[in-house]
Amino acid sequence: MAVGVFDSGLGGLTVLDAVSRRLPDVPFVYLGDNAHAPYGVRTPDDIFALTCAATERLWEEGCDLVILACNTASAAALKRMQETWVPSHKRVLGVFVPLIEALTERQWGDNSPPREVAVKHVALFATPATVASRAFQRELAFRAIGVDVEAQPCGGVVDAIEAGDEMLAETLVRAHVEALKRRMPHPQAAVLGCTHYPLMQHVFAQALGPDVRVFSQADLVAESLADYLVRRPEMLGPGTEAKFLTTGAPRAVSDRATQFLRKPVTFEAA
């Protein structure tokens, strides 16, 4: 009954932590492609190939359902995977859907025409590849009209977080927020479009100010997954063991993950 969680590095651990708390009886297999991180500066074809390879590895672990806890992979690879690659008895889901449901206050199954929503000015903070894909804006446009999205590619933030350099990450976040606010001085809401960014959520919030609602993905994804598994219990795969896998050096990744989550985490080689 295992479910796979994939990220290019450590950022997906924020999602894993939330889904594990929400679904404590489900064993989750986490795979970090640390050897090839970060994905945010790679080409769409490269991201597609790496994401497919990681997904196949999670299928080998008995995870028929895989969550792409990586916004870059969700933006650059997921649609192509679902349309051309994923077999009918498997499922691969991304992390944009729960976020857009929350922002537009309408369920994904609601196929009525796009309509006006309360939030008109949205700041999107994401990796360069996610911003370039315009996947967030495309999905939002199916459900809402009249929403102005200003996207800020946050170069360097993922690298700093992965390296454990919190001071540099904070400095970069503040710089990126200031850059966005020069183009959109008064956003109503901010979307943290990378699963690494919740670790810097307090910095984003401080830099944006108290009037900006900050949407982070982990808890939204957890609730969405719980609802999905109620509706599709057959997608719980045959795997029974929770584990952490990495394409990088297991000891080094374990040390960084332990610092990341502030509790012991042990990775093994994928």
pLDDT in tens, 113-168: 888 999 999 999 999 999 999 999 998 998 899 999 999 999 999 999 888 899 99
Beta strand 91-93 with 144-145 is unpaired
Q: How far apart are CA 214 and CA 203, in angstroms?
A: 11
**Bridge partners, 240 (sequence order):** none
Spot the catalytic one: 52, 63, 154, 194: 194
pLDDT of residue 254: 96
52 is catalytic: no
Spot the catalytic one: 52, 63, 70, 154: 70
pLDDT of residue 108: 56
Per-residue model confidence as pLDDT tens digits over 8-27: 999 999 999 999 999 999 99
Beta-carbon contacts of 169 under 8 Å, excluding residues fewer than 6 positions away, are 157, 160, 161, 199, 200, 203
Specify the residue for token string 């900050």: 214
Q: How far apart are CA 83 and CA 71, in angstroms?
A: 18
154 is catalytic: no
Q: How far apart are CA 242 and CA 55, in angstroms?
A: 16
pLDDT of residue 96: 85
| H helix or E strand, kind and range, residue 90 | none
Q: How far is CA 12 from CA 4, 151, 250, in A?
A: 11, 21, 16
**pLDDT means per 10 residues in the chain (270 residues)?**
95 94 97 94 96 98 96 94 96 90 76 87 95 92 92 94 91 98 97 91 97 90 92 94 97 92 93
Q: Is the omega angle on the peptide bond into residue 153 within 30 degrees of 0, that is, cis?
A: no
What distance, in Å, lies between the first and last C-alpha atoms of the chain? Answer: 20
Q: Which domains does the chain have, with CATH numbers?
A: 3-96+218-269 (3.40.50.1860), 104-215 (3.40.50.1860)
Maximum CA extent, the chain: 51
Q: How far apart are CA 219 and CA 126, in angstroms?
A: 18
pTM: 0.89
